[in-house]
């Protein structure tokens, strides 16, 4: 707690002697209660389920640049450098997770899945779930214009905290935080896990009523050799049940099967009649 107090007292000591606060016209520095800010930062530490050896790192991760502009104090650094580091750590940990979790996926599919998992909107949802916006230090003007709910600010703070954890406890500590924040709550991952089984599920449903399995047909292949996009349709007899696209035939077939399952859930009568004999 003593280290927290040292950080907070330094953070809210006000501008250096002889320097006027910067900021919007007419904006005066808010009279902040250092003790309440200390408790707020400690609350973030509790949400992390990680205890910092150097609490100043977490404190820095919670400082938006507008706070420094308003106070005209260069003794405290904003969270942008930590955000830069956290982005790289998040990318490494996420890539490793997806590589191990989905051995059947090609590079293009892994990239698309990663982009959904770590995009700004996903990170902002993490921050909203943790009510992180309440604890970010920013100018009164930034807060008044919705800064505490702005996706970009929230996502940047999440990445900055990841960077702070990495510096404080190493890669293993950062992995633990990322797993709890993202992987345990990743709707995209859960949806994809279902998608990866859609082809088997579709075959089970159809063959439970008919002996003829679904069949898949490539409609077209587009793009250069290193960025191929396959478009595939799945048929029950001559009836098209769904279409899908992917970086390879396998992933396109999985997407088509998922589309077919959604359609069958709405139109189960599509399987009432036996498939055309030509199938």
pLDDT in tens, 5-62: 555 555 544 444 444 444 444 444 443 434 545 665 777 888 888 899 988 888 889 8
pLDDT at 75: 58
CATH, range 197-271: 3.30.160.20
Pick 172 or 147 by higher pLDDT: 172
CATH, range 2-192: 1.10.1520.10
Told to judge if 191 belongs to the known catalytic residues of this protein, a careful annotator would answer: no
Told to judge if 134 belongs to the known catalytic residues of this protein, a careful annotator would answer: no
CA distance 154 to 127: 6
pLDDT in tens, 36-51: 456 657 778 888 888 9
Q: Which of 73, 83, 159, 168 is catalytic?
A: 159
Pick 92 or 201 by higher pLDDT: 92
CA distance 162 to 127: 12
User: Which residue ranges does the chain devote to CATH 1.10.1520.10?
Assistant: 2-192
User: Which residue ranges does the chain devote to CATH 3.30.160.20?
Assistant: 197-271
Burial per residue of 173-207, b for 16 or more beta-carbon CB atoms within 10 angstroms, e otherwise? bbbbbbeebbbeebebbeebeebbebbeebeebbe
pLDDT in tens, 192-238: 555 557 888 899 899 888 888 999 999 999 988 877 899 999 999 88
Give yes or no for a contact between 62 and 137, defined as CB atoms under 8 angstroms apart: yes
Pick 69 or 58 by higher pLDDT: 58
Q: Which of 87, 175, 233, 255 is catalytic?
A: 87
């Amino acid at each position: 707690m003593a280290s927290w107090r040292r950080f907070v007292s330094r953070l809210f000591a006000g501008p250096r002697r002889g320097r006027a606060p910067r900021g919007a016209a007419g904006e005066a520095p808010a009279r902040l209660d250092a003790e309440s800010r200390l408790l707020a930062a400690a609350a973030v530490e509790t949400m992390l389920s990680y205890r910092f050896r150097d609490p100043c790192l977490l404190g820095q991760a919670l400082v938006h640049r507008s706070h420094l502009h308003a106070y005209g104090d260069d003794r405290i650094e904003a969270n942008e450098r930590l955000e830069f580091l956290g982005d790289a750590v998040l990318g490494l940990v996420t890539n490793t997770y997806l590589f191990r979790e989905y051995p059947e996926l090609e590079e293009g599919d892994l990239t698309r899945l990663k982009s959904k998992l770590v995009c700004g909107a996903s990170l902002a949802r993490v921050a909203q779930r943790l009510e992180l916006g309440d604890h970010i230090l920013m100018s009164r003007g930034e807060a008044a214009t919705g800064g505490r709910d702005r996706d970009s600010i929230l996502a940047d703070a999440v990445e900055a905290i990841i960077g702070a954890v990495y510096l404080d406890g190493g890669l293993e500590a950062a992995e633990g935080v990322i797993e709890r924040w993202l992987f345990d709550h990743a709707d995209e991952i859960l949806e994809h896990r279902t998608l990866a089984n859609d082809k088997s599920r579709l075959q089970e449903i159809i063959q439970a009523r008919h002996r003829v399995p679904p069949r898949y047909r490539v409609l077209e292949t587009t793009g250069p050799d290193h960025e191929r996009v396959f478009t595939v349709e799945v048929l029950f007899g001559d009836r098209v049940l769904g279409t899908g696209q992917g970086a390879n035939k396998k992933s396109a077939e999985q997407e088509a099967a998922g589309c077919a399952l959604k359609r069958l859930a709405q139109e189960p009568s599509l399987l009432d009649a036996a498939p055309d004999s030509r199938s």
